Structure formats: C-alpha cells, structure tokens
Amino acid sequence: MQRRRVKRMLIGAFAAGAVLVDAGAAAAQAAAANEQVAISTPPAGSAEWVADHSLGRSLPDPATADARTVAAFFTSLTPEQTEQLIAEYPLVVGNLDGAPLDLRYRANRVAIAAERDRARARAADQKLDATTRAEATSRADDSEHLLARGRQILAFDPRGRGLVSEVYGDLAKADRVSVLVPGSDADLGHFDQAADPLRSPAGMARALVAEEHRQSPGTRTAVIAWTGYVTPSGLGPDAVTSRLAEVAAPRLERLLAGLAVTSAPEAPPALFCHSYGSVVCGTAAPEIHDGQATDVVVFGSPGMGVQSTGELGDGVRVWATRNPTDWIGNVPYLEVGGLGHGADPTTTDFGAVEISSAGAVGHTGYLAANTSSLHNFGAIALGRYQSVSHPPATA
C-alpha cells in the first residue's frame, strides 16, 4: 500500500508539472481520472468465428493470423461466402487487418448500425437511470454520424469508450499514405468534433489530407485517423506511464502489416504522432521497418519512451516539433521508476530532425491553416523533404 501511495504521489507531481499553464481545470481532471482498461483482444464474435466450420474449413484466427494469411483467405472465398461472413461476423471482418478494404468498410457499416440500434434501445429503456440513458443517446448519435454517406470506417470496436479508425482518400490506390496516431481522450465520442475540430483525430486527418492536396493536387494520397487503442483519459495516471502504449504498439504494427498487403504506396506509410500518440509510435518503432525508412513525425510530444533515436532502430526517420505555447513543454522530460516518457524529442541530443511549427498555438494547433507545422507535415507525407522548414539556428 505504501508503494502504491508513493507512486500516486509521483503521478500527481507529473500531472501538476504538465499543467502549469492550465493549472485549475486540468489538475482537477488529473486527480479525478481513472486508469483505463486496455483492449488487447480481438473484437466480439471472434471466438464464434474461430469455432465456425460452416465453410468446410478453418477461418483465420483474429488473434494470431498474419495479414498475408488473412488476405489469402479472403481471396479464396466465393462472393456468397464473403457475404455470409460479413452478415454473421461484421466486427471480426471489419477489424481484420489484411482483409480487403472494401469488405472492411461494408462490415463496419453493419457493425456501427447494430451499435446505434442497441444504444437507441437503451436510451428508450425507462428502467435505466437518466445518466445511463443519456450516455446511450450520445453513443447512438456518435454511431449515426459514422454512417454518413461516403465515410470509410476501417475499424470499429464498441467496447469501452469505443475505438474507431477512418480513411480519407482512396487507400487502395494511394501513392502516399499517412497514419495519424492521436493522444489522450481520443475515442468514439471524441473522434470527430464539429467544435474545434483539430482537437479530434478526424479533424486533424482532414486537415492533413487537404494540405497534401494543396501542395500536390496530382498525387494520390490517403490519411488514416487511427484511434485503434485505448488512450489515456485526461492527465490522469495513464498519461505518465507507457502501459497503454505497450498494448497499443502491437495493434499499430498489425495495422501497418495489413496495409502492406491491402495498399501499395511508393513508400511505407508515414506516422504522425500527437502527444501520447508519440509514446505509442516510439514503442512500436523498432518493429515497423521493412527495409525502407519510415517517417515518424512527433508533435506536442511528452517523449517517445527513449533517450534518443538510436534506441528506435535504423528503420525510422524521426521529425519533431513543439511550439512555445504548448503546455506539454512543462512536462518533466525524464523516466523514473516507470513514470515519464524519456528525453525531449526536440532537443539536439535526441537525434530527430527538428521542424518549424511557426504560427501554431497551443497543444492542438499544429494542423491549423497557415502554420509552418501543417506545411511541413504535408511535405513529409508527400516525401518532399526539401520543402520542409526548420526553426532558426540559435547562437
């Protein structure tokens, strides 16, 4: 008990250091936040899927099958068999890395509609308390928004706060692919926000793909807003440890392995890692290279869980930026007893290429219009490295 009490005190100190600019509300949020339950297992229906031999054969185990095995399995199916699996196991098909993209989009529409209907039923159930019904109404509304015409939902899992990933652009034909890995508070309820959209993964992804089109209208690009892991809630205990990142990293690795067989960009997908998302990217980095360098861009980062890029392996090229008004700069850049995320990626000793974020304001302003950071993100995503700008040299 004494050890846990000391750890909680240290967590409080880290959280306090992180919110010197926004001390009042953020500190209260940190004190009240609960540790999150990480999702590491396949989605609902996976056990039934594995036990199903109605096709006269075994189905690939969602927990263990690699992307190439999954791709080969779907290639072998008849159209009727494919339709059967989508109807019976939409959550499995919709989250199976290596499955054809169009099938995943279709399966996830089925799964999202089912979640919407389930939430609506709960919202109308007078036996439930008012808070539970209100939460169900919110879940139904969030699900309904994902069903809007033209949306391409690559993954959907209603467990917990809800996981969702969306594609912008034609992923199957894209010459350049980017994956946006968000930080704290990203979930189904905060995936796409009309007010202050750059606080949401969908809003950041839309800004990035628009910038890519502005810089190179003729290049076929796609951006994935990937909320494929349970993120920390606020500035609570999970924000200062790597526990959630360690569970998230294999999920990110599987996403990239799936893209390797379902898309064919001219370079590995670039990763854009915001805030705690940079801890996820740092944890995954040693496992994601396949002979070509992967661009990893970290912005508003509390650290990548390492002291230098040398610990990330030879297969990544790290770019880093933090604007002077971002409160994350007040975080202690160290790691002590499992708390903290290592060195500041924007320092010279870390080994990343520092890029300019002139014009960006605050922790979520890096993809705002007319900022150097947005221009630089677009240039890196397109592989136009000569167009990237850097902070002025200091004496």
pLDDT at 314: 84
pLDDT at 216: 98
17 pLDDT band, cuts 50/70/90, is very low
Residue 28 has pLDDT above 90, yes or no: no
- The residue whose two tokens read 């995320």 is 341
Dihedrals phi, psi of 88, to nearest 5 degrees? -90, -30
Q: Give me the residue spans of the domains in the chain.
A: 2-32+161-387, 46-138
What are the angstrom distances between the C-alpha of 160 and each of 38, 131, 145, 339?
Answer: 9, 16, 18, 25
Q: What is the pLDDT of residues 290-327, one digit of tens each?
A: 678 899 999 999 999 999 999 998 889 999 999 999 99
β-sheet bridge partners, residue 299? 274, 321
| Highest mean predicted confidence (pLDDT) among 69-83, 227-241, 276-290 | 69-83
Dihedrals phi, psi of 89, to nearest 5 degrees? -135, 60
Task: Taking the CA atoms of 187, 189, 192 and 197 in sequence, report the sign of the dihedral they define.
Answer: negative
CA atoms of 355 and 345, how far apart (whole Å): 11
Q: 78, exposed or middle or buried, with CB in 10 Å at 0-12, 13-18, 19+?
A: exposed
Does CATH number 1.10.8.60 belong to domain 2-32+161-387?
Answer: no
CA atoms of 31 and 133, how far apart (whole Å): 27
394 pLDDT band, cuts 50/70/90, is low
265 pLDDT band, cuts 50/70/90, is very high
Closest by CA position to 111, among listed 165, 66, 52, 185: 165
Report the percent of the chain where pLDDT is more than 70.
91
Residue 30 has pLDDT above 90, yes or no: no
CA angle 206, 297, 156 (to 5 degrees): 50
Q: How confident is the model over 67-73, as a mean pLDDT?
A: 98
Determine the 3-state secondary structure of 184 from DSSP: coil
Which pair of tokens denotes residue 266? 């001219």
Q: Supply the pTM of this predicted model.
A: 0.91
Which pair of tokens denotes residue 375? 């221009």
In the chain, at which residue ranges do the beta strands (DSSP E only) sit?
Answer: 152-157, 163-169, 176-181, 221-227, 270-274, 294-299, 316-321, 353-354
β-sheet bridge partners, residue 77? none
Report the percent of the chain where pLDDT is more than 90.
84
Q: Measured between alpha carbons, how far apart are the two ends of the chain, in Å?
A: 50
Bridge-based pairing state of the strands 176-181 and 221-227: parallel
Q: What is the pLDDT of residues 366-393, one digit of tens each?
A: 999 999 999 999 999 999 999 999 998 7
